[in-house]
Structure 1
Amino acid sequence: MMMENISHSLMSFIWNAASLILLLSIVVTIHEGGHFWVARKLGVKVLKFSIGFGKTIFSKTGRDGVEYVIAAIPLGGYVKMLDEREGEVSVQDRPYSFNQASVGKRIAIVAAGPLANFLLAIMVFWSAFMIGVPGVKPVLGEIKTGSIAQIAGLQSGEIIRSIQGEPVQTWMQVGLAFANFIGEKTSIDMEVEDPLSHTKKISRLQLTTKIGENAGESPLETLGIKVYLPQIRLGIGHVAENTPASRAGIKVDDLIVAFDGDDITYWPQLVQKLEKKAEQTVELTVLREGQLRRLKVRLGVGKNSAPQMGYLGIQPKIDEQYRQELDQLRVNLQYEPTEAFHQALIKTGKFFTLSIQTIRKILSRDVSAKNLSGPVGIAESAGNSLSVGLSQFLMFVGMISVSIGFLNLLPIPVLDGGHLFFYGIELVRGKPLSENIQEVGMKIGLVLILSLTIFALFNDISRVGM
């Protein structure tokens, strides 16, 4: 059992790591490609184009004289240009060095990286919307007693049609709409439709708790809303070999009707019963060929689940009714090319605006910085999106590309925005800041970025531990 868990965890790690490398390879290549292309167009000589940092894995010098490198650490990249501040430059090459370029050219070269990220986001969103982005219709599930949602009069089964006047068709759009209110105590107007009478009403959600105030809590959890999914009955569709279920004599087509004497009907009830039951002996009552049988089962330890989650080794039998209900919830957001491009522009703008709001709210402490994700969290999300399909992965690439483009515009030395800040001062003063001041700024910026990276990684480790 332990070896099976280790194998499963290892495969998940490899898949997520590969997804992260693929994601960063795309985003970083386009970002650095922006610097590279504009530098060459403006007459600045490029010496090296590297994807990744650290030890060189692959290197080839092209006919253009540029060394193209793939390095061992795939968490970034760089374009090295001819620069008198970094080494000797021959007299004939001086006109092609970066430091000799006008401040306008240097601004264009540095700004080209983030702009390339925004263009990439538009292109991948455009492609995804033409392919079709699968989603789930936003039907309300269980409404928590005493929650913000219940006080607003929301009821299970209603369909969300708009949030604050913005139409929504999927839960992903709902999540993005709620993200605009992170860190706020305000009211949100939600339009919902009764699926039977097709009547619509507007319910006002009065936030008594800030969305994002509790680290790791989703907006839906804050509001007391669960996503509706068809209930899976407890018929057994598969019993894995050498598992607690197989050893106890559970068979395919058995129907579980009770757990330790308590009647249960649906799969979530079984999952709830298994909580904190790892390595304990329980009694399952199953219906087999019209007869009830009581079976003693020594539970194992659940894979990738909450601590002490009991493990049986079974999968549910999916009946036709469940499939039909699930199909009715599926939504495919697909547009013809012109409208897809329009939607891509809107999506890019929304993620950019959301990035600004998030940074502002973290700095004002309206949102906990513990919500920041590092490479582990991004890798997990990349792996999950790629598992769903190409269009979902493209959407995630677009979101990360907008985020990286935005973060690189922040006026922090070391980042592109820090360089642009220095060049802006140079434009105003008519001369650059002294190299000593710029060097001190770079060191401060490096400390800030490393501290932020370590903090985000700590958040990842804390979430994995939880």
Structure 2
Amino acid sequence: MNENPGLLLTVFAFFLVLGPLVFVHEMGHYLVGRWFGVKAESFSIGFGREIAGWTDKRGTRWKLGMLPLGGYVQFAGDMDPSSRADPNWAALPAEERNRTFQSKTLWQRALIVFAGPAINFLFAILILAGFAFAYGKSVTPPVVAGVLPGSSAAEAGLLPGDRIVSVDGERIEWFDELGRRIAHRPDERITLRAERAGKVREFDFKIGVEIQKDRFGNEYRIGRLGIMSAKPVMRPVSLVEAPVVAVERTGDVVRLMVATLGQVITGRRSVSELGGPLKIAQVSGEQLSAGLDDFIFFIALISINLGFINLLPIPMLDGGHLLFYAIEGIRRKPVNPKVMEWAFRSGLAAVLALMVFVTVNDLASFGLLG
């Protein structure tokens, strides 16, 4: 029987995930902007018509928008929330002009933009460091304790006692690393190297496929080798080491995202698996009902996702701005305003099209499109 967390819990959990993460992201832009003396005219959680807000003593309007699917900081000198320059900013009095975003040096503007994704990564690292300190780190050796009959590992010839050395050239140090290299690649061929009796052997075979269903009824296609480890070994992690472990785990998540994106682009993974806000809302509710630890870990994953996506070189996203700043640095002059406007319009169209596409995917996955 499927356990449905219910609509109210799902909506509550969604806002509990998205609201703080958007706030953290935009606060990164805001704080670094203030550090460089840029005035923030508005700080918004959500887009569209304002439903609540106040103005602080610095003249910044803090507000909530009608559409709670993101946010923005609009700095002085910006024509709109996408940070396109107001053509009249240069005519402002010197004191006001010096407080605009456009008056700052290239590296200062780049840091202000980069601060948003960066703080999402730092937020996730803080959470993962807490988990590492609380629960320790798995240091189970990558030694095969058992092989399931009929599994891909059995057909390839792996035996108990084999020590996994690498997968597709990537070194394997601990047993749990093997799962992270395999789970997202069902039915793909790999080259695995294992040490047996002092000699390294090479195995070339297809990863097996396991269909898993969670207690909420969701099905997942998981890559499996069909091998078992010895008894798991957990090592305590000190407060000093915890951030290091957290950075490593964040790197693993980013590598998984890059690999998954590559699979979608090359057609090895169906675009129907892409999820949007509705899917995030569904999983938010499920993770909250599963327990506080699961929910907090999910927040860390979404924070990494938010940071990663915003660094993609797409106009309208932070990565698009950084791309133009890189071009400006190479050319020693800003990109032509007309080119910028065309790029941002195209980027907006692409982002909106993607939002529509993933929303349709979400509706289809919920069985609401027939």
When normalised by structure 2's length, the TM-score is 0.77
- For residue 27 of structure 1, report the CA deviation from its aligned partner: 1.5
Distance 1:458 1:34, change over 3 A: same
How far has the Cα of 1:399 moved from its partner?
A: 1.4
Letter in 1 for 2:243: F
Does the 8 Å CA contact 2:32/2:111 hold for their aligned counterparts?
yes
For 1:84 and 1:124, locate their aligned partners in 2 and report how far apart those are by CA, in whole Å: 34
The SS at the match of 1:345 is helix
The aligned amino acid for 1:14 is: L
2:131 paired with 1:128? yes
State percent identity of aligned pairs.
32
The equivalent of 1:185 in structure 2 is 189
1:59 equivalent in alignment to 2:71: no
Q: Tell me: CA distance 1:47–1:179, structure 2 relative to 1, closer, same or farther (3 Å).
A: farther
* Residues 416-435 of structure 1 mapped to structure 2, 5 A cutoff: 416-435=318-337
User: How far did 1:355 drift?
Assistant: 2.0
After TM superposition, the structure 1 stretch with the greater mean CA deviation from structure 2, 330-339 or 400-409, is: 330-339
Distance 1:392 1:204, change over 3 A: farther
CA separation in 2, counterparts of 1:181 and 1:35? 36
Once superposed, what is the RMSD of the aligned Cα atoms? 4.0
- On the 8 A contact 1:175/1:219 being kept in 2, the answer is no
With over 3 angstroms needed to count, the CA separation of the structure-2 counterparts of 1:410 and 1:188, relative to structure 1, is same
Asked if residue 50 in structure 1 is aligned to residue 44 in structure 2, the reply is yes
Amino acid at match of 2:327: I
Please list every run of at least 4 consecutive aligned residues from structure 1 whose deviation after the TM superposition is greater than 6 angstroms: 139-142, 160-163, 208-212, 329-334
Q: Of 243, 263, 277, which aligns to 1:341?
A: 243
Matched, 1:69 2:63: yes
Structure of greater Rg: 1
96-105 or 388-397, which moves further after superposition? Answer: 388-397
Q: Which runs of 5+ in 2 are unaligned?
A: 81-85, 196-200, 212-218
Conserved? CA contact 2:147–2:154, under 8 Å: no
What CA distance in whole angstroms lies between the structure 2 residues aligned with 1:451 and 1:190?
A: 46
Deviations 1:47-98 (A, max 9, x none): 1111111232320112232111122322111001001645555413111111
- Note if 1:361 corresponds to 2:263: yes
Higher mean alpha-carbon deviation, 342-351 vs 367-376, is at 367-376
| Residue identity opposite 1:431 in structure 2 | K
Matches within 5 A, 1:1-150: 12-83=6-77, 85=79, 90-91=92-93, 92-132=95-135, 147-150=151-154
* Corresponding residue pairs, total: 341
Report which stretch shifted further, 182-191 or 68-77: 182-191
Are 1:334 and 1:340, in contact at CA under 8 Å, matched by a contact in 2? no
Letter in 2 for 1:178: I
In structure 2, give the amino acid aligned to 1:410.
Answer: L
1:153/1:203 contact within 8 Å kept: no
Query: Which residue of the partner structure matches residue 174 of structure 2?
Result: 167
Partners in 2 of 1:121 and 1:101 — Cα distance?
29
Distance 1:376 1:331 in 2: 38
**AA paired with 1:29?**
F
Alpha-carbon contact 1:362-1:368 (below 8 Å) kept:
yes
| Alignment-mate amino acid for residue 119 of structure 2 | A
SS of match in other structure, 1:338? coil
| CA apart distance, 1:151 | 2.4
SS of corresponding position for 2:98: helix
CA gap 1:46/1:190 in 2 versus in 1, 3 angstroms:
farther
- Asked if structure 2 preserves the Cα contact closer than 8 Å seen for 1:128 and 1:394, the reply is no
Cα offset, 1:459, TM superposition: 2.2
